[in-house]
Amino acid sequence: MSRQKSDEQVITHPHLIRLHGNDNVAATTVNVEEGQLVEIEGREIRAADSVPTGHKMAITEIAAGEKVIKYGVPIGSATCLINPGQYVHTHNLKSDYLPTYTLDGTNRYLDSRGRTT
Amino acid sequence: MKGYLRSDGRKGIRNLVVVAYLVECSRHVAAEIVAPMRGEGVHLIGFSGCFPNDYADRMMTSLCTHPNVGAVLLVGLGCESFDDQRLKKTIEHSGRPVERLVIQESGGTTRSIEQGRRWVRQAADKLRDDAPVDMKIDELVVATICGGSDASSGLTANPAVGRAFDRLIERGATTIFEETGELIGCEQLIASRAANDILGKQIVASIEKAARYYAVYGHGSFAPGNADGGLTTIEEKSLGAYCKSGDSTIMGIIRPSEIPPCGGLYLLDIIPDDEPRFGFPNICDNAEIGELMSCGAHLSLFTTGRGTVVGSAVAPVIKICANPDTYRRLSDDMDIDAGRILEGRGTLDEVADEIIEHIEATADGRQTASERLGHQEFILTYKSEFAPSPRCRAEDG
């Protein structure tokens, strides 16, 4: 597994977990530092940001408005262009799930404008 | 695989004597009857309430006729409201040896314990003569539950169980997941996996019901933005628990004590349909395991990040540890080290393979960690009776 290059730090075992084949983000299993090369499924990605353990890194380019896929399904939408290796979190990903969990008494959710969902 | 054939056609992966107390007042006598039989397949279950409860009655009936159970001793005080005669008849009809011990009629604590131990010893000896029959994986009902979760649960153990579920279903097995209260935020996604539209709508309704129910008890705060463990959205948070269900089509919703009608994946809805009564729907993990068993689950896959030690009466529990540090601390209590994925020592597919191997070996009689350590937790509390299951199954659509 070790693929050390002369002048670069390469993490020598998979420190990203891609949970589903359709995912465009992977979870980190260690703290990844900005500039590090990390490997996922035999491919190398350079970390554009530092990503704490268990958080998400983009593994493909994600356009603004495109769904961010984890577990094979959307977990929200990108709010700007996200490049491979970038940290994905609240600064560039928002929920598509609008309800504020206020209930109107009839077992229906109300969103932030008071509409049922 | 070998199993024990029951009169309803189901097969058990264990052949247990169950001693069931029918009120808290008879629990000590029942526990003393079981005590010298440790390691000999005699398990204690029961219901502590003195007042009648249809849900508890049905649960006890389901568990006393669970495929893993071969004989039953009912232990009552004598003045509780539990209808022990009816339960005894139902067990008799199932072809199982059953005896009823009433402490007020059998001379008090000491004599009841002596009588009970004699009956249980004989019943256990007799069960050992039962010849097992061939059992295939498509006759197996496997449930999953998570408890003591942490950030690692959704990365390792839960998705690995999901992959194992998909493989079991491909081979014709029946699988059950639950915890509608932890599926809030991905209703539409789950509904899209339903076998038909009616079922999809029913799934959405069951999750909304859970949200309302938990809100009443102060556990409805699924506020977005729990960023600590790297979770960005509510969808992502719920998916961590939800991914235990894998990718297969959801065949139906079932309620406690309801046996899935055919193979495939089922969602167990544990939330009563009426206004919240009797407190929390399930007060702890073992209450959930009890309901999964009542639906005929032969064994449960229990994923844990922080580490739980429990097992269960009646049906073996396979513990799958999501966090490698927890595994090192509690390895004695764990069956599978899924957290090794985080350390590059394995993949989700490898852990899923190991889960399947453990399921087959456990079904074939190998003890799980909690069985080996003598864990036989059981709890049953008051709950509202469930309405008949809605017509929402695949075969109805």
The reported pLDDT for the residue numbered B229 is 64
C-alpha closest to that of B368 among B356, B377, B376, B358: B358
Name the residue facing A71 among B223, B239, B344 (closest C-beta): B239
Spatial distance between the Cα atoms of B228 and B35, rounded to a whole number of angstroms: 45
Residue tagged 């069960």 (tokens): B127
C-alpha closest to that of B302 among B334, B342, B343, B262: B334
Q: Which of A16-25, B20-29, B229-238 has the highest mean pLDDT?
A: B20-29
ipTM: 0.75
pLDDT band at A110 (very low <50, low <70, confident <90, very high): very low
Helix (H, G, I), strand (E, B) or coil at B241: helix
The reported pLDDT for the residue numbered B148 is 80
What digits encode the pLDDT tens for the residues B247-290? 999 999 999 999 999 999 999 999 998 888 888 888 899 999 99
In this prediction, residues B14-31 reach a mean pLDDT of: 98
Q: Which of B208, B234, B236, B243 to mutate to test the interface with A (most CBs of A within 10 A)?
A: B236
B298 to A64, B241, B317: CA distances (angstroms) = 47, 21, 9
The reported pLDDT for the residue numbered A14 is 67
Q: Are residues B223 and B98 in the same domain?
A: no
Q: Tell me the shortest Cα–Cα distance from A7 to chain B, in angstroms.
A: 24
Q: What residues of chain A have any CB closer than 8 angstroms to a CB in chain B? A: 13-15, 17, 19-20, 27, 29, 52-56, 70-76, 88-90, 93-97, 101, 103, 107-109
AA letter at B100: R
What is the chain A residue with the closest CA to B212?
A: A107
Domains of chain A: 16-110 (2.30.130.110)
AA letter at B286: N
Taken as a whole, chain B contains a residue count of: 397
DSSP, residue by residue, B141-184: EEEEEE-S--TTTTTTHHHHHHHHHHHHHHTT-EEEE--GGG-T
Domain end marker among B92, B107, B133: B133
Looking at beta carbons, which residues of chain B come within 8 Å of A75? 232-233, 235-236, 239
Which range among A11-15, A19-23, B199-203 shows the weakest confidence by mean pLDDT? A11-15
Q: Are residues B348 and B258 in the same domain?
A: yes
The reported pLDDT for the residue numbered B388 is 65
| Token pair for B234 | 């509510």
* Helix, strand and coil percent figures for chain B, each rounded to 5: 40, 15, 45
Q: Tell me the shortest Cα–Cα distance from B160 to chain A, in angstroms.
A: 9
Q: Are residues B103 and B11 in the same domain?
A: yes
The reported pLDDT for the residue numbered B389 is 62
In this prediction, residues B316-337 reach a mean pLDDT of: 96
Q: Are residues B168 and B103 in the same domain?
A: no
Q: Tell me the shortest Cα–Cα distance from A85 to chain B, in angstroms.
A: 16
Helix (H, G, I), strand (E, B) or coil at B91: helix
Chains A and B form CB pairs within 8 A to the count of: 91
CATH of the domain at B101: 3.40.50.2300
pLDDT band at A114 (very low <50, low <70, confident <90, very high): very low
Q: Are residues B99 and B177 in the same domain?
A: no
Q: Where in the sequence is the domain holding B74, given as residue range(s)?
A: 2-133
Spatial distance between the Cα atoms of B354 and B357, rounded to a whole number of angstroms: 5
Q: Are residues B128 and B141 in the same domain?
A: no
Contacts of A14 (CB under 8 A, 6+ apart): A29, A39, A40, A41, B344
Contact A73 B189 (CB under 8 A): yes
Containing A78, the helix (H) or strand (E) segment is strand A73-78
DSSP, residue by residue, B107-127: THHHHHHHHHHHHHHHHHHHH
- Better pLDDT: A110 or B330: B330
Domain end marker among B133, B164, B180: B133
pLDDT exceeds cutoff 70 at B360: yes
DSSP code at position A62? B
Q: Which of A3, A17, A80, A108 to mutate to test the interface with B (most CBs of B within 10 A)?
A: A17
Q: Tell me the shortest Cα–Cα distance from A94 to chain B, in angstroms.
A: 7
The reported pLDDT for the residue numbered B212 is 83
Q: Are residues B175 and B295 in the same domain?
A: yes
pLDDT band at B127 (very low <50, low <70, confident <90, very high): very high
The reported pLDDT for the residue numbered B226 is 55
User: What residues form DSSP beta bridges with B69?
Assistant: B16
pLDDT averaged over chain B? 92
Say if CB B13 and CB B365 are below 8 A apart: yes
The Cα angle at residue B350 between residues B348 and B351, in degrees rounded to 5? 65
The reported pLDDT for the residue numbered B344 is 81
Q: Are residues B180 and B320 in the same domain?
A: yes
Domain end marker among B109, B133, B157: B133
Q: Are residues B248 and B363 in the same domain?
A: yes
Q: Are residues B249 and B120 in the same domain?
A: no
Which range among A64-68, B175-179, B222-226, B315-319 shows the weakest confidence by mean pLDDT? B222-226
The reported pLDDT for the residue numbered B237 is 81
In this prediction, residues A5-34 reach a mean pLDDT of: 76
pLDDT exceeds cutoff 90 at B369: yes
Q: Are residues B20 and B103 in the same domain?
A: yes
The reported pLDDT for the residue numbered A3 is 37
Q: Are residues B349 and B312 in the same domain?
A: yes
Burial of A68 (C-beta count, 10 Å sphere; 0-12/13-18/19+)? buried
The reported pLDDT for the residue numbered B54 is 95
Report how many domains make up chain B: 2
Contact A73 B221 (CB under 8 A): no
What digits encode the pLDDT tens for the residues A35-45? 999 887 778 88
The reported pLDDT for the residue numbered B106 is 97
